[in-house]
Amino acid sequence: MGGAGVGLRLPHLADVAAARPAAAWFEIHAENFLANPHASDLLVQIGESYPLSVHTVGVSIGSADGIDHHHLACIRELIDRIDPVLVSGHLAWSTHEGVYLNDLLPLPYTEEALEVLARHLGEVQDGLGRPYLIENPSSYVELTDSTMDEPQFLCALVERTGCRLLCDVSNIYLSGHNLGFDPHAYIDRMPADAVGELHLGGFTPEEDASDAGVGVLIDTHAGRISEPVWELYARAVRRFGAKPTLIEWDNDIPPLATILAEAARADRVAADALAAKVRHGVAG
């Protein structure tokens, strides 16, 4: 897709449609457009000039209640209009008994959850008529019912379903900090051939009175990418190769030029990582 893309949020929509700034591609959140015909029309126009990717936040693929097929049909209508290059959603659940919870909630990494996900993934891909990439979540707790860790679970999901993954590098760093694992080792254990997209986003440190001053990182998408995440991104590019990479910035949204500057840095980091791999045979 010719370089890193950026998340296209509603405050920038009209400007992008009118001014067509230099950007490699855009990713949108489908749910922002489902009840907004004016925004959808602008998006169709934008799609004539840029590759688009669709990220869903309300499909709730991990919900034990099953998939909301009406919601899926609404997303299908949108993606049939804009023909995105990629469609994705989180390894999470966000609905219960018909109620939409405004959060992406964690799953236990068990055989039972794997079965539910595999079934739902088939329904979602059939409903949307295209592959649906699964994104690793940002985590704050570990569920004691889990029998696998997250990389093991993702490997098992890929093996069972053949699905592709969206690797959110920032989520790995943040979860590693919050849960106490090594994010570089996590990257090394991902099923590399399945990774079809990368995400980078800013996070916000918060004090946590219950810990010893280590604090917790919150996945706010409200700032620049941190230096250790750029290092982790370089490792991801060395391991997975050059993949479509997205800068996510959803809160305290700056001028688009600021987000595009982060995308340009992603391009430089990726190029340097690949060049280093060629020069030195660096593997990880």
Q: Binding of Fe ion at residue 90 (CB under 5 A)?
A: no
Q: Binding of Fe ion at residue 27 (CB under 5 A)?
A: no
Task: Output b/e per residue, 161-195; b: 16+ Cβ within 10 A.
Answer: bebbbbbbbbbbbbbbbbeebebbebbeebbeebb
**Please, which residue, 31 or 168, has the CB nearer to Fe ion?**
168
Using CA atoms, how far residue 152 sits from 38, 155, 240, in Å, is 43, 5, 17
Residues composing the chain:
284
How many Å from the N-terminal Cα to the C-terminal Cα in the chain? 24
Task: Output b/e per residue, 237-272; b: 16+ Cβ within 10 A.
Answer: bbbbeeebbbbbbeeebeebeebbebbebbeebbee
Q: How far is the CB of 131 from Fe ion (least distance, A)?
A: 17
Q: Binding of Fe ion at residue 168 (CB under 5 A)?
A: yes
Region of 63-71, 182-190, 193-201, 227-235 interacting with Fe ion (CB under 5 A): 193-201
Q: Are 158 and 191 in contact (CB under 8 A)?
A: yes
Q: Is 80 helix (H, G, I), strand (E, B) or coil?
A: helix
Q: How far is the CB of 243 from Fe ion (least distance, A)?
A: 13
Region of 12-20, 22-30, 107-115, 168-176 interacting with Fe ion (CB under 5 A): 168-176
Tokens 């800013």 identify what position?
202
Using CA atoms, how far residue 127 sits from 79, 117, 123, 124, 130, in Å, is 11, 15, 6, 5, 8
Region of 42-50, 102-110, 178-186, 194-202 interacting with Fe ion (CB under 5 A): 194-202
Q: Binding of Fe ion at residue 9 (CB under 5 A)?
A: no
**Please, which residue, 29 or 199, has the CB nearer to Fe ion?**
199
Q: Binding of Fe ion at residue 197 (CB under 5 A)?
A: no
Neighbours of 67 (CB within 10 A): 19
β-bridge pairing 26-29 and 86-90: unpaired
Region of 69-77, 111-119, 192-200, 254-262 interacting with Fe ion (CB under 5 A): 192-200
Q: How far is the CB of 168 from Fe ion (least distance, A)?
A: 4
Q: Binding of Fe ion at residue 199 (CB under 5 A)?
A: yes
Q: How far is the CB of 237 from Fe ion (least distance, A)?
A: 16
**Please, which residue, 150 or 168, has the CB nearer to Fe ion?**
168
**Please, which residue, 89 or 191, has the CB nearer to Fe ion?**
89
Q: How far is the CB of 255 from Fe ion (least distance, A)?
A: 21
Q: Binding of Fe ion at residue 224 (CB under 5 A)?
A: no
Q: How far is the CB of 24 from Fe ion (least distance, A)?
A: 17
For residue 4, give both structure tokens.
């890193």
| Residues lying near Fe ion in the complex (CB under 5 A) | 168, 199
